[in-house]
Structure 1
């Protein structure tokens, strides 16, 4: 057996031993030994071990975010494999998102032999440690399975890692491979729940649940009788303590009376929440978040691994929030219904209502997740709806690819939906490039198309004083014909301009990947947001 084939098979064996079941491959020459080894391993009958599933993408950035979506939805590490040179650099966006979100990702990059580094050899750069602090690197020169397993075991937690594999000629194997034996994984210490700190009752408290906060945030809020201010991707936007319009209420008298905030997950959506947590008169209690920077960007009074309460607080506090929320929610719904054109908020609300128990929703950054935050349907506890987003760095990169990965990684979802803006959709056009042999999930992608970056219209730069340069610098209308783009990708497309049309389209999925384009206005976005904020004094 030639050394490169032996090395590649050792890497694939280590991945399987580490529990990796999903691998995304981008084609190349230098990574050919890895490609052949992956194909052979994926072709074997799993037997007592779960099989390895191989996905191929022509764009490394797309491949990285596909793997990210697969890992994010399952909680199990996925791998992405590419060739040398700029291919490696294209994985950086997915790596930094995974690092900050605490998502397990194994990046496997092919490299030239060390003797060619520092020379003008084709497609050769310094890949060892290229991802810096975002992903520890093992520079692999020999087929030492023990070394590979030890590295992966050492970093067996929620973060990306990098295997940089030196592959020399010849790059083609001499024979087929039967996949080998899957090595037993190290015996892990029994996972136990962290010891919880008991919080005192008394202070007027709210629970702030950011991305990936999980059920503990809801359980705490319901046990204590505290309002739950939960973002859509928190994993706990359910139950009776949830306050739908919390973002609007924080600026009112009831918000000013908050004395303590308990923060779980990674809250990133709302300036009102940021202002709340920065207030000198609010005690902030933090539950440690995932990701490489788990600290909070504001002063905290105390930090804990978990928190609990004994008993319930004064029920009047939560009921005040519920009553105010019901009132503002009714006003918001009336306001949107009176608008002459389809609004982005109505699109978000329709998508939320279309998500059945057991369903999956992947939400893009920018306005869509903020619109959804105001419009999430009241979900019951135990409905097993999974709403996720790339909130580690909250970029628009790779959203379509991550959504497809999430849908592929959760095949038993009763329905898979994605909600994103037009710029986000166009930014990841290659996410729709799937070869004829690739698995295609059932996924309805709803694109809110206002021909540009409308989120900037709601920020300081959207002030009319900057109207003469706004579109050039921020609005960036692109004029993309989404229907034609989808046709080029052979993806079914339907455009809608009204709420009934959208609801009908969402009620009648065709299967496979399909795009529903909801066409909305951008010129009234700033005014519409002002109307919504004016609902609360």
Structure 2
């Protein structure tokens, strides 16, 4: 089987699994893989195919089918003006909330802008008229057709149906656009009489989740990802009872208080591993949870059957590895149809309200207790081996100890947020942690922190690295007639891009290339910069000096600069992981 045929069959198979029953086709050469796939599906009795020679007519036919059935209806076109001819139907679907799905074939991306025949820039062609869009590159091999493609189809259907919206007449249903590039050959391989066509004919299977083959799809016949779909013909899963459930709490933003999720997990006895974001009580989570997950031997014998992810998880590679573990069912609770699933491993998606309203049964008590005991063991071991001052982890520990009850902390991307995640010990005092994790950039962090401080009476703090500070230093240029916040800004100065020292680029064997293109030292005088803006600057070289500066109530803008050894990041994190593993091994 060639890559284009494999991709087309997987996409059509997943559309059918997602509830599609009618497909409209306007013939063309570049869309041939999809044409063969939908014809094969019709012959198997899986869908009803409608062929039209005019794309404008095809678009409105699909619109009518979707209006009448309430189900998503894909319309397939070839590349070029064929796609543009669907725009009137897409606009109608946009303004009337009809789940029309445009499945446009495209030439390989390297032909765009070259004058190649029947080639234009198709992604974004419908502008804001579509609820969701994706641009799928042409696969280079059969093996490269995988879970990404199936989960992308699920996203398109969820957006078109507004599955996580209100579900009523005023819901945000509408058109979605899936642009798919195909390379030659565009026709299926000719089969011998003894061959039986199927989704994976002549191909080697690409590994998927346990019990599922990516080319065949889920063994139970359901979609690759199961969002709630009350209006669709099939029955979808809810928040079921799984006694050995681990809750992973990520960034929920400002839609739902993270404390509500923590309270739900506590009522049912589920252990919680949490990123540092949110307003929840840190005593209700596994201390140093990401460290616990790095202890592979312990984790292998205490593996959850289900991981329930609430919010976006963006920090820990250990959490990402757990979600990819074979045999672990992953479900996501989210506040929008754009659910987080970078590893394409999610089995089911629930509105966050479904989680909070569910009457799930209690956890496996002995298993849950083993997670709580392990968290205490790791916390004691980390406390006994305090990180040396001059490391980001030591600063993270100090921040957790020093900030007052009810404080609001904005934490920048790169090392500070990770040092807070790993280094902050359990604390009973409430602490609200906010970050820009949408794209996790270092731009605009000081301006964000100032804006947050101007909207609350809570003691306000920010913790950023030196490059993040410099990137938005103009935020300190506040005119005399403007509102001024009370904000203490902690800057850990490691002389450049310290985050890269914890990654593969910072390996000792790559040191010759590191400084110029990753370390990027600036040598900026932070005291002079603050003086230019009339901002108070405190240089805290010792732990005691930093503790005193952070313990003082914020008044105006104060910048507290803490020098950090740039060579310490990699070894400090490795040592922390070693301490956790050894403590758990000793405790059994």
TM-score (norm 2): 0.55
User: CA separation of 1:448/1:273 partners in 2, compared to 1, >3 Å: closer, same or farther?
Assistant: same
Q: String of CA shifts for 1:447-486, please: whole Å, max 9, x gaps.
A: 0111111111111111111101101111111111111111
2:331 corresponds in structure 1 to 285
Q: String of CA shifts for 1:390-449, please: whole Å, max 9, x gaps.
A: 011111110000000001112x21x10111111111111111110001111110000011
The question of whether the paired residues in 2 share the 8 Å contact of 1:198 and 1:310 is answered with yes
Cα distance, 1:258 vs structure 2: 2.1
- Report the Cα distance in structure 1 between the residues aligned to 2:398 and 2:130, rounded to whole angstroms: 39
Cα distance, 1:210 vs structure 2: 0.6
Cα distance, 1:384 vs structure 2: 5.5
- 2:460 matches 1:416: yes
SS of the residue corresponding to residue 444 of structure 1 reads strand
2:321 corresponds in structure 1 to 275
2:177 corresponds in structure 1 to none
The question of whether the paired residues in 2 share the 8 Å contact of 1:444 and 1:515 is answered with yes
1:520 corresponds in structure 2 to 564
- 2:247 matches 1:199: no
1:333 corresponds in structure 2 to 383
Cα distance, 1:366 vs structure 2: 0.7
Q: String of CA shifts for 1:492-531, please: whole Å, max 9, x gaps.
A: 0001122111111112246101100011101222122221
The question of whether the paired residues in 2 share the 8 Å contact of 1:351 and 1:419 is answered with no
User: CA separation of 1:134/1:227 partners in 2, compared to 1, >3 Å: closer, same or farther?
Assistant: farther
- 2:409 matches 1:361: yes
- Report the Cα distance in structure 2 between the residues aligned to 1:135 and 1:349, rounded to whole angstroms: 46
Aligned pairs for 1:134-533 (under 5 A) are 197-202=238-243, 204-212=244-252, 214-240=258-284, 242-252=285-295, 253-256=297-300, 257-290=303-336, 294=340, 297-305=343-351, 306-307=354-355, 308-337=358-387, 339=388, 341-380=389-428, 385-410=431-456, 412-413=457-458, 415-509=459-553, 511-533=555-577
Cα distance, 1:197 vs structure 2: 4.1
2:142 corresponds in structure 1 to none
The question of whether the paired residues in 2 share the 8 Å contact of 1:288 and 1:295 is answered with no
Any gaps of 5 or more consecutive residues in structure 1?
1-128, 137-154, 158-195
User: CA separation of 1:312/1:423 partners in 2, compared to 1, >3 Å: closer, same or farther?
Assistant: same
User: CA separation of 1:512/1:463 partners in 2, compared to 1, >3 Å: closer, same or farther?
Assistant: same
Instruction: Name which structure has the greater RCO, CA cutoff 8 Å, separation 6+.
Output: 1
RMSD: 2.9
Cα distance, 1:329 vs structure 2: 1.9
Aligned pairs for 1:3-42 (under 5 A) are none
- Report the Cα distance in structure 2 between the residues aligned to 1:289 and 1:303, rounded to whole angstroms: 10
- Report the Cα distance in structure 2 between the residues aligned to 1:300 and 1:422, rounded to whole angstroms: 37
TM-score (norm 1): 0.60
Q: String of CA shifts for 1:79-137, please: whole Å, max 9, x gaps.
A: xxxxxxxxxxxxxxxxxxxxxxxxxxxxxxxxxxxxxxxxxxxxxxxxxx99x76999x
Any gaps of 5 or more consecutive residues in structure 2?
1-123, 132-169, 173-236, 582-588
